[in-house]
Structure 1
């Protein structure tokens, strides 16, 4: 894309800068075990090859049935394909519906409050179901609406828990990326016939499309995070 075209395009889009919305990272310093396989709730048998990434996706009760049907193909499949390419691991998604208090959680509020409340519920579900405390197991609440007036999703870097609205196609891949330590600073805006944003762009611009990929530096961070996990 020529510098002149970039300049003209940026001038045209300038009035829309304030319409961009954020996906937020909150502070969570919960330490990870050096070897997740020794945890009591880890998988008893390690399969041959790399362990899959397991995502337990809780569909909030406010997500209408008409939207649910498109959640996997629109919000998960592009990310699943990208993670398989980037990590060499399979990705398994289990949808959980109509299961209060998890799917009825009141998620709207300040970022840290929303995250802490969901983390407590996620830990309860994990422990009650004897699920792994490991880097490849994630618990994601899918919401119909935003967390607040400017936040589309919330998680903590490298942790197991996150929230993501299905009001934008970019956010599930963004929050899962954070849970695998991908960072905003390593995202890019690319050109593939039109401007597109990689998963970890910090602000979603409604005029751009999604590239549905992580940049090579973010792929490297994800693989480094999973390096000690079977």
Structure 2
């Protein structure tokens, strides 16, 4: 029996309505899908929802200090969206992300339920969306460590501070992701 696939639904905030969808996909998500598939052995698919198709979500005021309130609001809007579009939470592991142009506040590029189904991520940093998806899949800052890349050792995706970051999760966080996804087998 094949493993349940992972579906990441990315809602584009209205402040990204002028962005090229193909470029957003190729810069922030194509490589991430491949990486998660290699780690988990599961297919991962990213679907994008344009601002005009989810106005209640795309207009969320995400600039805040109250991160828990932001996640609760996003969660509630996604539940309404799924209900109103006759969507389903079955036959896949569903994750939902609001992708924004700007940071949430002076110190926060993104936030996610850890582990969980909801995240908000800014495109101001190349790796924020991947970092927040890592949280949703059970990866943690504490297990971030360093990884070796073609260019030498760098911080892994889950590192909480700025600096050179590689497009990989640490071995411990890869194990955390597999352990989290194992509950769906």
1:114 touches 1:147 (CA, 8 Å); kept in 2?
no
Question: What secondary structure, in the 3-state scheme, does the structure 1 residue paired with 2:16 have?
Answer: coil
Work out which structure has the larger RCO, using CA pairs closer than 8 Å and 6 or more positions apart in sequence: 1
Per-residue deviation at 1:49?
0.5
2:147 touches 2:170 (CA, 8 Å); kept in 1?
no
Find the counterpart in structure 2 of residue 57 from structure 1.
10
Q: Which runs of 5+ in 1 are unaligned?
A: 1-47
- Candidates 145, 168, 183, aligned match of 1:213: 168
Q: Distance in 2 between matches of 1:61 and 1:219?
A: 33
Bigger CA radius of gyration = 1
The alignment of Structure 1 onto Structure 2 pairs a total of residues equal to: 180
Find the counterpart in structure 2 of residue 74 from structure 1.
27
Q: Distance in 2 between matches of 1:65 and 1:55?
A: 21
TM-score (norm 1): 0.72
Per-residue deviation at 1:191?
5.1
Q: Distance in 2 between matches of 1:225 and 1:69?
A: 30
Find the counterpart in structure 1 of residue 125 from structure 2.
168
Find the counterpart in structure 2 of residue 197 from structure 1.
155
Q: Which runs of 5+ in 2 are unaligned?
A: none
Q: Return structure 1 stretches of 4+ with deviation > 4 angstroms.
A: none
1:108 touches 1:146 (CA, 8 Å); kept in 2?
yes
Q: Does residue 1:122 correspond to 2:75, yes or no?
A: no
Q: Does residue 1:85 correspond to 2:38, yes or no?
A: yes
